[in-house]
Structures are given as structure tokens and as C-alpha cells.
């Protein structure tokens, strides 16, 4: 199996021309933004996307949506008429009419003509449907009404702080500490792969493993079900969660298979229940998953080139919820609190930021970022992003729930609990001592087996 980085412009071109690249086969029950809303109230979508800084004319999309509905209605009427003629032919023959009589022959001829017309409509319907889905798949989620207005990260709102940030001009950044403690080897990693990969050594590898186990245990104690998902996912899984087609250029793709290295465990966790109806009695479903994550980090050239902040491969513990629609607002607060609890138990100062409409992710309608304090860098850096997607991912994935005779889309939420490399960076900077050692948080000592990292 070969992996290659596919040219982004070619990927995007292929995605919009051929839905097979998105995994949209005839058997896939992929749904997107509610087409009824597009037909009846496109202004609601336009206004929502305007809050994201997008100015779109949904007129062409509305036309295609109406064309599709008209074709569906015409086909349905013709099929009903054809079925009625077929029944009439059967009744006449059953009551003694000659199968070759002029009357029966005319009815059969009319029935055959209807079949041809239905086939023509089905082909037109398929073409319009594929074009419409490709258009809609490029549209992000609509921001929640409570999401703050704003254009970019400068307009995000600080909601709360925890812990007392260290401030000392003599404190080192995490990559300096890691080098002094021989926690990794970046030069040999570049030889093995390329830049922005890291090989953790001895205490560094043990600390990474300890953090993963600590996070998984903490979340499982809170009622999460642990999952170890595949690291390779197909195009439909990426499309269902919202990574494709928007983020094709950020991902690594296999050359000869419909498989990609997953950018986050959110992708396989979303598709665990794709095309399923989850009984309402089983909701909420709360999953926690460790996974390696792979991202090209396109567009970030020159940023955070040293250390653990922005790598092509990193480890992350992901939280993912499937909930009843009426519970999603409260669920966002809970999943955020669960991510915060990791930072509190690791004694890492942080702040909670509510993202404005212009800064939320593609699939999200409302997001809280957790930013940990890095005293060496003298700045807060994102370590977790907790988002409610409402029914956006569920609609793309056809994930529903049923109560009685009523079926509805579930709501999904996701959050990092936490990004492991960035957590290590924060521990190194916040725990650094003047003698070159690093004090570890009390909660981590049973996992690591020692209270300190020491020079070797």
C-alpha cells in the first residue's frame, strides 16, 4: 500500500466532478443540508453563512433543489400510473380478455412508454442529485444563534480561567527542555521521514504513553466507552464527518486504495454508526478513543517548526458523543468540562475561549477552545477544541434515532481530551526546575513511576 500526498487542486477538481472520490456510491445513504430549507428559505442559510464571512448566492443551488423535487414528483406520478396500467392489464386478462387484443396491446404499449419516460427522468434525477450534493457538501455548518459574532480569532470571547500562570523570563520553551533531557531525536526523525516528525526516546516515550493511559482511564471512569479505531479511513468516512472535500489538501492519501490516514479519531467515530438508527434508549453514546493523527498542516509553513505544537503526526485522545437533539446544548458544556478536568488534574493553567462565528470549524455550529498556558513561550496555546455539530454530521452520515414511530437525526459533539504532544509541552514548561529536572503532576506519577524527569 503506497501513501502519497495528492495535489490539492487535482483532489478538489475530482471531488466536485466525480462523487466516487467522496465515497458516494449508489448504496450510500448520504444526506446533506436540508434541501427543504434550501428551497423554502435560502435566506436563512445565506444569513448563517454570512456570519462566517461567506457571501454566497444560493440561487443556482435553490434552482437545482427545486428541479430535483419536480423530477421526483413527476417520476413518482408516472410510476404510479404505470403500476395502475400493469394492474389493469392483469385484471383484464384474468377476466377473460385476449392478451393479444387491441385493448390490452394498447395498454401494454402505454405502459412501456411510461417505463421509458421513468428511466429518462431517473437519469436526469441522478445527474441533478449528484450536482446538488456536490454543491451542498462544500457548504459549512450554520453557526448557532448563541455563537458570538466576529470575523476571526481576534473576536473570540474569553469565558473563564483556571490556575495561576507562571511568569518568569528565565523559563525555557518545551523544545529546549526536551533537548536538554534527551526526550527525542528530531534530526534522525527527519532522515527517517521528513521535517515535522519526531521520535520520542526513553523518558519522552514513557511520558507520552503515560499521558495516553491517564487520559483514557480518566474518561472511562466518567462513563465513556473506550474505542481503538482504524488509522486508515475511506473517503465516505471523511466526507461524513466534514473533512472532505473541504480539507483534502490537509490529508495524506493512499495511492492505490480509497484510504486516507485519519486526521483525527473524530472521523472513524462519526462513521461507527453511519447509515444506522440508534435506539433512543441507548443515547447518549459517549466514546473515547486514542489514535495517531496525521495532517499536512498546509498553509502553516514557518509556524511552530520546533517542538511538539505543529507536527505531521501526533497522538490525541478524542471524546465523541451521539445525543438526542434536545440534549445537545447541555452536552457541549459537559464534554467541555470533561476535557477541562484533564488539565485540572494535571495542574496546568488554562483558559476557555468561545469561538466567534468567523472562526469556528467547518462542521461545528458552536465551539469552545481550551488554551493551556506555556510559560516558556509566554502564551496560551490551543490544546482542545470542543464542538457541537447539531445534525450536520448526522445528516451527512445518515445517523438517526427513533422514538415510537418518529425518526429524527441525532446530534453529534466532539472534543480533544487532550492533544497528547501539546499536553507534554505544557508539562515540560510548567514543571521545569532550575536544576534541569521537570516535576510531574501528582496524578501522573502512578502512570510514569516517578515524580520527575531527570537529565540522563
Residue 251 belongs to a domain: no
Task: Let me know: does 231 contact 260? Beta carbons within 8 Å.
Answer: no
pLDDT in tens, 323-367: 999 999 999 999 999 999 999 999 999 999 999 999 999 999 999
Cα–Cα separations (whole angstroms), residue 148 to 251, 335, 358: 30, 20, 9
Residue 445 belongs to a domain: yes
d(CA 155, CA 149): 8
Residue 5 has what pLDDT? 37
Indicate whether 285 and 360 sit together in one domain: yes
Residue 206 belongs to a domain: yes
Angle (nearest 5°) at CA 423 between 284 and 369: 55
- H-run or E-run covering 318: strand 313-323
Domain boundary among 67, 102, 137: 137
Residue 1 has what pLDDT? 42
Domain boundary among 90, 112, 137: 137
Indicate whether 82 and 195 sit together in one domain: no
Residue 41 has what pLDDT? 76
Structural domain span for residue 201: 153-229+265-453
Report whether the peptide linkage leading into residue 418 is cis, meaning its omega lies within 30 degrees of zero.
Answer: yes
Q: What's the number of CA atoms in the CB half-sphere (13 Å) around residue 348?
A: 33
3-class state of residue 111 by DSSP: helix
Residue 29 has what pLDDT? 41
Give the relative orientation of helices 42-51 and 59-94 as an angle to the nearest 10 degrees. 140
297: DSSP letter: -
Indicate whether 158 and 127 sit together in one domain: no
d(CA 107, CA 97): 12
Residue 365 belongs to a domain: yes
Neighbours of 11 (CB within 10 A): 18
Residue 102 has what pLDDT? 83
d(CA 376, CA 288): 31
Residue 334 belongs to a domain: yes
Residue 27 has what pLDDT? 36
CATH code (residue 380):
3.30.930.10
Indicate whether 98 and 195 sit together in one domain: no
Indicate whether 183 and 114 sit together in one domain: no
d(CA 91, CA 95): 6
Residue 258 belongs to a domain: no
d(CA 276, CA 29): 10
Residue 104 has what pLDDT? 83
**Mean predicted lDDT score pLDDT of the chain:** 88
Q: Tell me whether strands 225-227 and 285-294 are parallel, antiparallel or unpaired.
A: parallel
Indicate whether 158 and 133 sit together in one domain: no
Indicate whether 123 and 271 sit together in one domain: no
Q: First-to-last CA distance in the chain?
A: 39
Indicate whether 204 and 55 sit together in one domain: no
Indicate whether 117 and 161 sit together in one domain: no
Residue 384 belongs to a domain: yes
Domain boundary among 137, 169, 195: 137
Indicate whether 115 and 166 sit together in one domain: no
Cα–Cα separations (whole angstroms), residue 72 to 58, 252, 342, 399: 21, 38, 51, 23
Task: Let me know: does 233 contact 22? Beta carbons within 8 Å.
Answer: no
Residue 302 has what pLDDT? 56
Indicate whether 426 and 345 sit together in one domain: yes
* pLDDT per residue as tens, the chain (456 positions): 444 433 333 333 333 323 343 444 433 344 445 666 666 777 888 889 999 999 888 788 878 888 888 999 999 999 999 899 888 888 888 888 888 888 888 888 988 999 999 999 999 998 888 888 888 888 899 999 999 999 999 999 999 999 999 998 889 999 999 999 999 998 899 899 888 899 999 999 999 999 999 999 999 999 999 999 999 999 999 999 999 988 888 899 998 899 999 999 999 999 999 999 999 999 999 999 999 999 987 655 555 678 889 899 999 999 999 999 999 999 999 999 999 999 999 999 999 999 999 999 999 999 999 999 999 999 999 999 999 999 999 999 999 999 888 899 999 999 999 999 999 999 999 999 999 999 999 999 999 999 999 998
Indicate whether 99 and 167 sit together in one domain: no
d(CA 303, CA 381): 13
d(CA 6, CA 314): 21
CATH code (residue 57):
1.10.287.40
H-assigned helices in 260-309: 266-271
Number of domains within the chain: 2
Residue 441 belongs to a domain: yes
Amino acid at each position: 500500500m503506497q501513501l502519497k500526498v495528492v495535489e490539492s487542486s487535482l483532489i478538489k477538481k475530482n471531488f466536485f466532478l466525480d462523487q466516487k472520490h467522496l465515497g458516494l456510491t449508489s448504496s450510500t445513504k448520504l444526506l446533506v443540508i436540508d434541501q427543504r430549507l434550501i428551497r423554502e428559505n435560502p435566506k436563512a442559510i445565506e444569513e448563517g453563512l454570512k456570519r462566517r464571512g461567506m457571501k454566497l448566492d444560493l440561487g443556482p443551488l435553490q434552482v437545482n433543489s427545486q428541479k430535483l423535487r419536480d423530477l421526483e414528483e413527476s417520476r413518482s406520478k408516472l410510476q404510479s400510473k404505470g403500476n395502475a396500467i400493469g394492474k389493469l392489464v392483469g385484471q383484464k386478462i384474468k377476466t377473460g380478455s385476449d392478451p393479444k387484443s387491441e385493448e390490452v396491446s394498447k395498454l401494454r404499449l402505454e405502459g412501456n412508454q411510461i417505463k421509458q419516460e421513468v428511466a429518462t427522468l431517473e437519469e436526469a434525477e441522478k445527474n441533478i442529485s449528484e450536482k446538488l450534493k456536490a454543491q451542498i457538501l462544500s457548504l459549512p455548518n450554520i453557526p448557532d444563534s448563541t455563537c458570538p459574532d466576529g470575523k476571526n480569532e481576534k473576536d473570540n470571547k474569553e469565558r473563564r480561567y483556571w490556575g495561576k500562570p507562571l511568569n518568569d523570563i528565565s523559563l525555557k520553551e518545551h523544545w529546549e527542555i526536551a533537548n536538554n533531557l534527551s526526550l527525542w531525536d528530531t534530526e534522525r526523525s527527519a532522515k527517517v521521514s521528513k521535517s515535522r516528525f519526531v521520535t520520542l526516546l526513553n523518558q519522552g516515550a514513557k511520558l507520552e504513553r503515560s499521558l495516553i493511559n491517564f487520559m483514557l482511564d480518566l474518561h472511562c471512569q466518567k462513563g465513556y466507552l473506550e474505542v481503538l479505531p482504524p488509522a486508515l479511513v475511506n473517503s465516505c468516512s471523511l466526507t461524513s464527518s466534514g473533512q472532505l472535500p473541504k480539507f483534502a489538501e490537509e490529508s495524506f492519501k493512499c495511492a492505490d486504495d480509497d484510504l486516507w490516514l485519519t486526521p483525527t479519531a473524530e472521523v472513524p467515530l462519526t462513521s461507527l454508526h453511519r447509515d444506522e438508527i440508534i435506539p433512543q434508549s441507548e443515547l447518549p453514546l459517549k466514546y473515547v478513543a486514542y489514535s495517531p493523527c496525521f495532517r499536512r498542516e498546509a498553509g502553516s509553513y514557518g509556524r511552530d517548526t520546533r517542538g511538539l505544537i505543529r507536527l505531521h503526526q501526533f497522538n490525541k485522545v478524542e471524546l465523541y458523543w451521539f445525543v438526542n437533539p434536545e440534549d445537545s446544548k447541555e452536552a457541549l458544556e459537559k464534554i467541555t468540562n470533561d476535557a477541562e478536568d484533564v488539565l485540572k488534574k494535571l495542574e496546568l493553567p488554562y483558559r476557555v475561549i468561545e469561538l466567534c462565528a468567523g472562526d469556528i470549524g467547518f462542521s461545528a455550529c458552536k465551539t469552545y477552545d481550551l488554551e493551556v498556558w506555556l510559560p516558556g513561550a509566554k502564551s496560551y496555546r490551543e490544546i482542545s477544541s470542543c464542538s457541537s455539530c447539531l445534525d450536520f454530521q448526522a445528516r451527512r452520515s445518515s445517523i438517526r434515532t427513533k422514538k415510537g414511530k418518529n425518526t429524527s437525526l441525532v446530534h453529534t459533539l466532539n472534543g480533544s481530551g487532550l492533544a497528547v504532544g501539546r499536553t507534554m509541552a505544557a508539562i515540560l514548561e510548567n514543571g521545569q526546575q532550575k536544576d534541569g529536572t521537570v516535576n510531574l503532576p501528582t496524578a501522573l506519577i502512578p502512570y510514569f513511576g516517578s515524580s520527575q524527569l531527570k537529565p540522563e
